[in-house]
């Protein structure tokens, strides 16, 4: 692609130095000093997680070589994991005298370069940057790992410093909006959890066994009339397996699979201890592997939304976990699940509580949709601005 008017086409090594990190297990010769160091887990996509910082022995004569400076761009080499490849952010000197592991590159702008760290970091995180890094990492071993020589040859466009600064500032507005919305979501989630506990777990309601209003369903897919194969996850509920595993994992013969219908619940007995239990809301029906437990509720006795909220509570997760203890594979049969007790007021009280909690969840969902839209807008904006398809007006600085 041709560089836009007024921009230069260049390679990363002409504007920055790629610095490798310190190997954790290498033998150290001579005196060493302990220094805090960054691991792959600390370097996330666009931010740092500094909640758990380890220390490492650094040869005393190499401290300067491995010490990070404010403005360094941190980039994860991948370490065989395509999800980690190219993940990174800018180091702002949060921890004095901090070094970095060898699975993290440090990219330091050259003293005579007009490239801004913020602009280079955006180029590396753009679609163009991601595609380049992935193409370099596809080696014969099948491992997604980037080496420093490939990174040095990263092709980029270089506008003037003023335009770089304007582009970085514009995209930073979207980052601020996304961060603000995500903080609001986190606060709303905490409020929902508090209200869930207050209204259900700490509501002084009479307790009832799940089995008094729930019964197991074992309807088989005889004749394989239903072909929509589903699975249950702890974060997204019912999903198509190809969305989770990027391929179909079901047997060709679905006749022994269990049918699950809209409004019914299902869980994998060997994974219920991590919360993999959900209600089918997205389809009229589907089929599940025979290992799953499917059950329905008597909605004259229990409000299904109330029960679903209870399943999200800390109390429910703890009781399910306790039911799995002592089992060789930590499984929970339906009879064991049915023996769990749940706080259960009268049906009209259940419905009132469920409506209130539904409103809280709907507000969180709408905020989540707003964040997703902002992220989509940001990706599109980056594509246009970082390739020069859209140009920003640049004001001349006053003398």
State mean pLDDT over 235-264: 77
Are 148 and 105 in contact by the 8 Å Cβ rule? The answer is yes
In Å, how far from its chain's centre is CA 146? 22
What is the per-residue pLDDT for 398? 47
The answer on 235 and 147 residing in a single domain is no
Residue at 324 is within a domain: yes
pLDDT for 252 beyond 90? no
Q: 10-45 pLDDT, tens per residue? A: 999 999 999 999 887 767 777 899 999 999 999 998
pTM above 0.75, yes or no: yes
Q: 144: which strand partners?
A: 80, 138
What is the per-residue pLDDT for 142? 53
Residues of the chain above pLDDT 70, percent: 91
Token pair, residue 343, equals: 């706080």
What is the per-residue pLDDT for 140? 40
Q: 198-249 pLDDT, tens per residue? A: 999 998 999 999 999 999 999 998 877 888 999 888 778 898 876 655 445 5
The answer on 237 and 154 residing in a single domain is no
What is the per-residue pLDDT for 1? 66
The answer on 217 and 81 residing in a single domain is no
Question: Which range (48-57, 144-153, 293-302, 370-379) has the least confidence?
Answer: 144-153
Question: Which range (40-54, 67-81, 282-296, 320-334) has the least confidence?
Answer: 320-334
Residue at 386 is within a domain: no
What is the per-residue pLDDT for 303? 98
Q: What is the CATH number of the domain that holds 29?
A: 3.90.220.20
Residue at 135 is within a domain: yes
State mean pLDDT over 121-127: 91
What is the per-residue pLDDT for 136? 82
**Coil, helix or strand at residue 342:** strand
Identity of the highest mean pLDDT range in 85-89, 134-138, 212-216: 212-216
How would you label 247-265 residue by residue, b for 16+ Cβ within 10 Å and e otherwise?
A: eeebeeebeebbbbeeebb
The answer on 238 and 129 residing in a single domain is no
State mean pLDDT over 94-107: 93
State mean pLDDT over 336-340: 94
Show Cβ contacts of residue 383 under 8 Å, excluding neighbours closer than 6 positions.
126, 127, 389
Q: How many independent structural domains does the chain possess? A: 2
What is the per-residue pLDDT for 251? 66
The answer on 218 and 328 residing in a single domain is yes
Show Cβ contacts of residue 65 under 8 Å, excluding neighbours closer than 6 positions.
19
DSSP structure class, residue 202: T
What is the per-residue pLDDT for 193? 96
What is the per-residue pLDDT for 18? 95
The DSSP string of 174-193 is HHHHHHHHHHHHHHHHHHHH
The answer on 148 and 54 residing in a single domain is yes
Residue ranges making up the domain that contains 243: 206-344
What is the per-residue pLDDT for 399? 46
The answer on 152 and 17 residing in a single domain is yes
The answer on 230 and 90 residing in a single domain is no
Mean model confidence pLDDT for the chain: 89
Question: Which range (182-186, 192-196, 314-318) has the least confidence?
Answer: 314-318
Are 76 and 87 in contact by the 8 Å Cβ rule? The answer is yes
The answer on 231 and 120 residing in a single domain is no
Q: 151-192 pLDDT, tens per residue? A: 999 999 889 999 999 999 999 999 999 999 999 999 999 999
Please state the three-class secondary structure of 73-139 as a single string. Answer: EEEECCCECCCCCCCEEECCCCCCCCEEECCEEEEEECCCCCCCHHHHHHHHHCHHHHHHHHHHHEC
pLDDT for 121 beyond 50? yes
pLDDT for 292 beyond 90? yes
Residue at 395 is within a domain: no
Residue at 136 is within a domain: yes
The answer on 153 and 257 residing in a single domain is no
What is the per-residue pLDDT for 273? 55
Question: Which range (65-74, 236-245, 371-380) has the least confidence?
Answer: 236-245
pLDDT for 290 beyond 50? yes
Token pair, residue 114, equals: 């007009």
The answer on 245 and 105 residing in a single domain is no
What is the per-residue pLDDT for 249? 53
What is the per-residue pLDDT for 4? 85
What is the per-residue pLDDT for 81? 67
Q: How far apart (Å, rounded) are the C-alpha atoms in residues 303 and 331?
A: 27
The answer on 107 and 20 residing in a single domain is yes
pLDDT for 87 beyond 50? yes
**Contacts of range 179-183, beta carbons closer than 8 Å, 24 or more positions apart:** 181/367, 181/370, 181/371, 181/374, 182/371
């Amino acid at each position: 692609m041709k560089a836009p008017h007024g921009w230069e086409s260049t390679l990363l090594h002409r504007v920055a130095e790629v610095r490798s990190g310190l190997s954790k297990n290498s033998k150290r010769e001579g005196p060493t000093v302990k220094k805090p160091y960054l691991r792959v887990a600390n370097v996330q996509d666009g931010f740092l997680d500094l909640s758990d910082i380890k220390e490492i022995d650094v040869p005393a004569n190499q401290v300067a070589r491995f010490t990070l400076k404010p403005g360094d761009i941190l980039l994860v080499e991948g370490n065989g994991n395509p999800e980690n490849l190219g993940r990174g952010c800018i180091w702002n000197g949060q921890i004095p005298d901090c070094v970095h592991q060898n699975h993290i590159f440090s990219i330091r702008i050259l003293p005579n370069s007009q490239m801004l760290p913020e602009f280079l970091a955006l180029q590396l995180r753009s679609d163009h940057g991601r595609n380049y890094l992935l193409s370099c990492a596809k080696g014969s071993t099948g491992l997604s790992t980037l080496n420093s020589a490939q990174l040095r040859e990263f092709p980029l466009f270089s506008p003037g410093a003023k335009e770089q600064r304007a582009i970085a500032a514009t995209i930073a507005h979207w980052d601020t909006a996304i961060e603000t919305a995500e903080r609001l979501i986190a606060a709303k989630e905490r409020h929902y959890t508090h209200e869930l506990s207050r209204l259900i777990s700490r509501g002084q309601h009479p307790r009832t066994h799940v089995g008094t209003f729930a019964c197991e369903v074992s309807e088989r897919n005889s004749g394989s009339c239903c072909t929509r194969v589903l699975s249950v996850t702890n974060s997204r509920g019912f999903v198509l397996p190809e969305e989770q595993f990027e391929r179909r994992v079901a047997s060709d013969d679905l006749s022994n699979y269990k049918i699950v219908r809209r409004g019914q619940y299902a869980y994998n007995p060997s994974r219920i201890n991590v919360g993999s239990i959900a209600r089918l809301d997205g389809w009229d029906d589907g089929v599940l592997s025979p290992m799953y437990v499917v059950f329905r509720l008597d909605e004259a006795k229990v409000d299904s939304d109330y029960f679903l909220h209870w399943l999200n509570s800390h109390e429910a997760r703890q009781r399910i976990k306790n039911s799995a203890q002592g089992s060789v594979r930590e499984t929970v049969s339906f009879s064991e699940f049915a023996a769990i007790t749940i706080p259960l007021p009268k049906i009209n009280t259940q419905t009132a509580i469920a409506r209130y909690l539904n409103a809280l969840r709907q507000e969180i969902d709408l905020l989540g949709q707003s964040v997703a839209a902002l992220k989509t807008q940001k990706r599109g904006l980056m594509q246009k601005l970082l390739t020069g398809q859209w140009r920003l007006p640049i004001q001349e600085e006053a003398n």
